[in-house]
Chain A
């Protein structure tokens, strides 16, 4: 087990590392500190966080983790329902009723969720009797709409993971992107296609500036990106609140701090008619996933990024500059989260509100972890979470069970995915050979 803590194991370029580390980089106290990086040298443990995220757990464990989380969510739904609790107070006189009540409540919740996220049988049968065909696809459309910002901001976190950075700042970058995209959308007049393109690019730039600041701070001063991003999130939230209070950015005649809606020209076009919310933002997100894959595997920047993520010392001795890579990566990651903001403001919400950022930034972390920091995985994880979110709304409408249960389930999924030994204990799975399956190995602030 101790091999884990010494680094990324044998698969990484070990030769240059030894050469670089043998003269002891003169940073005895700096390795575990918060101010890792340039100011203190890069001594110490290379990113096992990266390994952990990448090789987190096998597909079996992931599936079992999702299953366990849903079961716990179901139990929570059942045992917080007054009818079930009433039935259980008569457990010994009517045990059958107690169990069937619990089952019914949980089952109705999850079937409502399915109807809201995948397909509702009623709309299918209605379509055969002259109803709307589009209505059949409404749940899937809602799933993709919910997944779009999750894919984009999830990529923002995942790409940072690959470079050994933990980007908790998707919220702030989202706000930066949403604000610039929204501002271009409602304040500028441009011809049709050009307007939406410029607004989307503006979203990328807005997020990019926010993210780039974090990268610059880390590269220049060694400030730990986790702290800077957390704090920057709140700074951006208050900045948004302040800006929306100014007359320039505020819709005239409204009492609330809300911006005017973006112009029609700047909205992302619907993909399947006006009745379904699915829009070009989803294509943008998929394109971004493809672009990130290409960036990671086919470009020099991607190679440097992966090398720096695997071992900054090795990267440095091979002539790369980790500092420069951090700045570039955070510029791109910020831009991706900014695109998520643009996709929301230009695709579904249209007006800036003080709460526009929702929980996308935090959900992005769970999506990136579940997707194991790979673009394809992120897309799948975002679709799963998007379906949970879309289904949760329908569930609340049909069964009055609060939508927050989806947040609980999502957190539990990641908790279990992050702890494969726990899942194996629950299901009595045989542990794999040591080293074959790296679990999420913890490490210090110095990553």
Chain B
């Protein structure tokens, strides 16, 4: 066992292990579809409604017999698993196979959970998903911006919290929602700036720093909440909330319209942010420089990129984005601020970023998935599903543990992530 031999052996074994592990997971999920969701479903059909009250176009309800549907989808998953193990698929077909298996699992699960109960309102389920995903997506984008430039951002939770606090207080005391939105963003940016200064100027360990800043934000907002917001509830903590803006034409499309094109300004900001960060990081010179700084700061410095400035800028930009996400928690949904209103969503956003392998689109997909599990937990409670919602709420965290364990492919951070750059 010499030092040279170990990594090579491990790598080969890991590659084989991963392929077979994924195929095994496919087959296992298929078997769960068949034997749990298919055979053990209650009597009666699962009914999905697709029309909200008052919608212009009415879409007929979909009624599925859970037994045959789950068994069919399960069989499909098993076959895909066997094919996956037996052959070497292209990258695209691998992803399609994984998506098909996931979708089969979700559909079977929904059929099983709704069988013989009140109809499951699909549109409002997806609306809740989008609403729950907004802070997760923006937080995850904040993480992408920071970590791509080489600064670890665990302080997303604190940025969300400060954004939520400032958004609610300013919107309430000045009566302007837009001012609240801007201030929420700035508050997140402020914590980002604090992170940047301590991480870059004082080279504090960035993981420790993130944890401490989260504690700081939680303590500060908790203190100010009790000290000022509780006694002056009417003046300082009763903001209005943004109303939905329906996009003409697009918003009238059945099913998709109410989900994607009839929401508050936060959802549209999120679309824009995802597109901007993705294009910015991967299609522009700016993004190439950012990634160079995150991968190899010394090389970037050699060709004249200002490493520290890039990092300051990206960390603060990330904070501004996460601050908007925080503001959506108050003035985008419930209105008033409550203690620790972000309740771990910053950590889910971090998880989404890792799950999405440090890419904006991947992180967005993961955040939507996690938002879906949160929304599902709410909806299943209302239709009387026997599955405890606690397990659904656990899902994002369990998925992340599985992801970092390497079962969902390699999660590779930017190479200089977390390492301070000191010019020698």
Could you say which residues of chain B place their CB within 8 Å of the CB of A43?
Answer: 7
Report if A25-B4 is in contact (Cβ < 8 Å); known contacts: A39-B14, A402-B226.
yes
Could you say which residues of chain A place their CB within 8 Å of the CB of B350?
Answer: 230
| A21 B227 Cβ-Cβ under 8 A | no
| B205 A440 Cβ-Cβ under 8 A | yes
| B4 A34 Cβ-Cβ under 8 A | no
Measured CB to CB, the closest approach of chain A to B313, in angstroms, equals 18
Is A173 an interface residue, CB under 8 A from the partner? no
Question: Which of A27, A239, A369, A422 contacts B7 (CB under 8 A)?
Answer: A27
What's the Cα separation between A31 and B400 when bound, in Å? Answer: 21
| B401 A223 Cβ-Cβ under 8 A | yes
Is B198 an interface residue, CB under 8 A from the partner? yes
Is B404 an interface residue, CB under 8 A from the partner? yes
Residue of A nearest to B295 (CB): A32
Could you say which residues of chain B place their CB within 8 Å of the CB of A410?
Answer: 215, 219
Q: Mark A351-377, 1 if CB is under 8 A from B, else 0.
A: 000000001001001100100000000
Question: Which of B205, B213, B398 contacts A441 (CB under 8 A)?
Answer: B205
Could you say which residues of chain A place their CB within 8 Å of the CB of B390?
Answer: 238-239, 241-242, 245
Binds A, one of B133-141, B183-191, B285-293, B409-417: B409-417
What's the Cα separation between A410 and B216 when bound, in Å? Answer: 8
Could you say which residues of chain A place their CB within 8 Å of the CB of B344?
Answer: 234
| A80 B224 Cβ-Cβ under 8 A | yes
What's the Cα separation between A417 and B141 when bound, in Å? Answer: 30
Q: List 5 A-B pairs, minimum CB-CB distance, nearest first.
A: A407-B219, A402-B226, A41-B7, A444-B418, A411-B216
What's the Cα separation between A412 and B218 when bound, in Å? Answer: 12
The interface of chain A, by Cβ under 8 A from chain B, is 1-2, 5, 20-21, 23-27, 29-35, 38-41, 43, 45, 49, 52, 76, 80-81, 166, 168, 217, 221-224, 226-228, 230-232, 234-235, 238-239, 241-242, 245, 313, 316-317, 359, 362, 365-366, 369, 401-402, 404-408, 410-412, 414-415, 418-419, 421-422, 439-445
Question: Which of A238, A245, A316, A440 contacts B208 (CB under 8 A)?
Answer: A440
**Which one of A227, A245, A316 has the greatest number of beta carbons of chain B within 10 Å?**
A227
| A34 B203 Cβ-Cβ under 8 A | no
Residue of A nearest to B358 (CB): A34
| B203 A415 Cβ-Cβ under 8 A | no
Is B381 an interface residue, CB under 8 A from the partner? no
Report if A227-B8 is in contact (Cβ < 8 Å); known contacts: A80-B223, A405-B223.
no
What's the Cα separation between A410 and B212 when bound, in Å? Answer: 9
Q: How large is the interface on B (under 10, 10 to 19, 20 to 34, 35 or more residues)?
A: 35 or more
Measured CB to CB, the closest approach of chain B to A411, in angstroms, equals 4
Question: Which of A223, A239, A401 contacts B394 (CB under 8 A)?
Answer: A239
| A419 B410 Cβ-Cβ under 8 A | no
The interface of chain B, by Cβ under 8 A from chain A, is 2-4, 6-8, 10-11, 14, 152, 198-199, 202-209, 211-216, 218-220, 222-228, 344, 347, 350-351, 354, 388, 390-391, 393-394, 397-398, 400-401, 404-406, 410-420, 422, 424
What's the Cα separation between A43 and B6 when bound, in Å? Answer: 11
What's the Cα separation between A365 and B202 when bound, in Å? Answer: 20
| A442 B219 Cβ-Cβ under 8 A | no
**Which one of B223, B354, B413, B418 has the greatest number of beta carbons of chain A within 10 Å?**
B223
Report if A26-B8 is in contact (Cβ < 8 Å); known contacts: A32-B413, A242-B390, A444-B418.
yes
| A238 B391 Cβ-Cβ under 8 A | yes
Additional A-B contacts beyond A25-B4, A227-B351 (7; CB < 8 A):
A32-B418, A32-B419, A35-B404, A365-B212, A407-B216, A407-B218, A411-B216
Question: Which of B6, B216, B397 contacts A412 (CB under 8 A)?
Answer: B216
| A444 B406 Cβ-Cβ under 8 A | no
What's the Cα separation between A168 and B422 when bound, in Å? Answer: 27
Question: Which of B202, B219, B391, B413 contacts A34 (CB under 8 A)?
Answer: B413
Question: Which of A366, A421, A443 contacts B202 (CB under 8 A)?
Answer: A421
Could you say which residues of chain A place their CB within 8 Å of the CB of B347?
Answer: 230-231, 234
What's the Cα separation between A226 and B207 when bound, in Å? Answer: 8
Report if A1-B422 is in contact (Cβ < 8 Å); known contacts: A239-B394, A442-B204, A442-B206.
yes
| B212 A444 Cβ-Cβ under 8 A | no
A-B contact list, 6 entries, CB within 8 Å: A23-B3, A45-B419, A238-B391, A415-B204, A441-B205, A443-B418
